[in-house]
Structure 1
């Protein structure tokens, strides 16, 4: 009898980086093929261009077509919502974001990531209202998307091919969130707390939903430093425990209680992309956890 285990997906944050060309990407690979190449090596990728501006439905459709059938994208929410509006009066902006083409990913749409600015302090009412606004399935997302404003009238995608659960993950960057009250809000709305490995912001590992979302920003230098063997061994042990439903106490927690242990899906993205470390670190972690992409090159198989 096979022991149940959550799905472990490992990848990188973004895929369009000049220094990767001729290094991670083979020399001569045309830019429009870079996503397909990366998606053949990893099992998930975090889309971060959506953070900086609204994309178009045809872009999401093209990304879905360029990736394997069992591939999953995480999509980073708009900074207009998180950084400009700072979560206040966000319904219209959220409708525009959802109408920009997110649902065109179809079954390849994974978690939506909401990254808060480092200056945003914990405000229970503000966080409660924002979490309650987030649609919990794709049909609810489509209904909200139809409330987009006139700027998207000619380029909105407001339907879904099927009703599927929609996951959300919240990344905090201010120490005032280190409180059980915040964890209680996430659990009440079934939103995952992002475990962000960084030298600058809180790294909390409280379990608040049925999946885990980790962003590995750099073990000693933000967005730049690589992960050594000991670091990757610890992250592999954590991921294995989460996926198996075993207690994982190797970290910092804001709440004293541990929720019921059960297998959880795990998403882990390397965001140390300013140098060339992210692809290599991701593949080294995949090897430790026996996670395989569609293409296994000689280095991965060694």
Structure 2
């Protein structure tokens, strides 16, 4: 039976800070991270999707958390093919443009290479401390199943070595018909962790709630089932609280996945108020109860 770690996709969300989840004494960035790390063994850094991290920031994360605490880091948008604001890039790498958003092709080849190098080197303090889990590559809804995209996934994995990547898809083509087996076999062949997701269905970005261990590490992300999934308001998009019944149905599936991998990471991304923290704590309790029952 492998280890199952449960956490959330943020610890600094403004609505979380306003929710009262943190005690009054946790009134600084250091104290909040310290408090969070006493509740959960894992966290996903979501801010790195919007802007590359600074090495000093990663060093502080490593210093402010206990041994064996784990950070999963979301890859910067441009490295996954998503658009990003030009101001998100380091000043010396910003292209001269009037565009509100830029794509990888808007960057000069050397700037793109420098962006990769800086993103990865900024994670060195976490890696050196043994606290870096995986770099999460959440690919965009237009990233369909085809040879060139599979090749890009392999390129991403090679660029990041010896750091590990995990792969999350957002287009149903990867799972249509026999493609699900093809997708999972591809990831297994290259020892790449698959990210299973729970999310609203019926959208172009929807993928089925499939769980699979394609490596010694498995990852699951819970996005909730908001009725406002297409909203540009992040809080509305992820505003969802899983019920006791829903989590009770998920617990045995997570436990089974944990039996198939050495380590399983479960992240709640329903980050509105303290919803993610409440659900993560409840799932931890359910998994501990199942373990205590000898299941």
Whether TM-score is above 0.5 comes out as yes
Matched, 1:202 2:211: no
- Following superposition, the deviation at residue 112 of structure 1 comes to 1.0
Match for residue 189 of structure 1?
190
Q: Which secondary structure state, in structure 2, belongs to the residue aligned with residue 290 of structure 1? A: helix
**Residue 136 of structure 1 contacts residue 167 of structure 1 at CA under 8 Å; is this kept in 2?**
no
Aligned to 1:104: 125
Match of 2:23 among 20, 26, 32: 26
Alignment of 1:157-236 (within 5 A): 166-178=163-175, 179=179, 180-200=181-201, 201-203=206-208, 204-221=210-227, 222-236=237-251
Deviations 1:234-266 (A, max 9, x none): 221112112223xxxxxxxxxxxxxxxxx4311
Note if contact 2:226-2:238 (Cα within 8 Å) is conserved in structure 1. Answer: no
- Name the residue aligned to 1:157: none
Question: Offset at 1:132?
Answer: 3.8
**Unaligned stretches of 5+ in structure 1?**
142-165, 246-262, 292-302
What secondary structure does 2:212 align onto?
Answer: coil
Indicate the SS of the match to 2:36.
Answer: helix
Report what 2:12 is aligned to.
16
- 117-126 vs 54-63, which deviates more? 117-126
Cα 1:120–1:45 shift into 2, 3 Å = same
Confirm or deny: 8 A CA contact 1:128 1:185 kept in the other structure: no
1:192 is displaced (CA, Å) by: 1.4
How far is 1:136 from its partner? 8.5
Task: State the shift of 1:20 in Å.
Answer: 2.1
Contact 2:137–2:167 at 8 Å: present in 1 too?
yes
Residue 195 of structure 1: SS of its match in structure 2? strand
CA RMSD across the alignment: 2.3
State which drifts further: 109-118 or 18-27.
18-27
Counterpart of 1:267 in 2: which secondary structure? strand
| C-alpha distance in structure 1 between counterparts of 2:170 and 2:276, whole Å | 21
- 1:113-154 superposed Cα distances (whole Å, 9 cap, x missing partner): 0011112222222222332442498xx44xxxxxxxxxxxxx
| Contact 2:211 2:257 survives alignment (8 Å) | no
3-state secondary structure, aligned to 2:238: coil
TM-score (norm 1): 0.74
8 Å CA contact 1:91, 1:133 repeated in 2: no
Q: TM-score, normalised by structure 2?
A: 0.75
Return the structure number with greater helix share: 2
Runs of 4 or more consecutive aligned structure 1 residues displaced over 6 Å after TM superposition: none
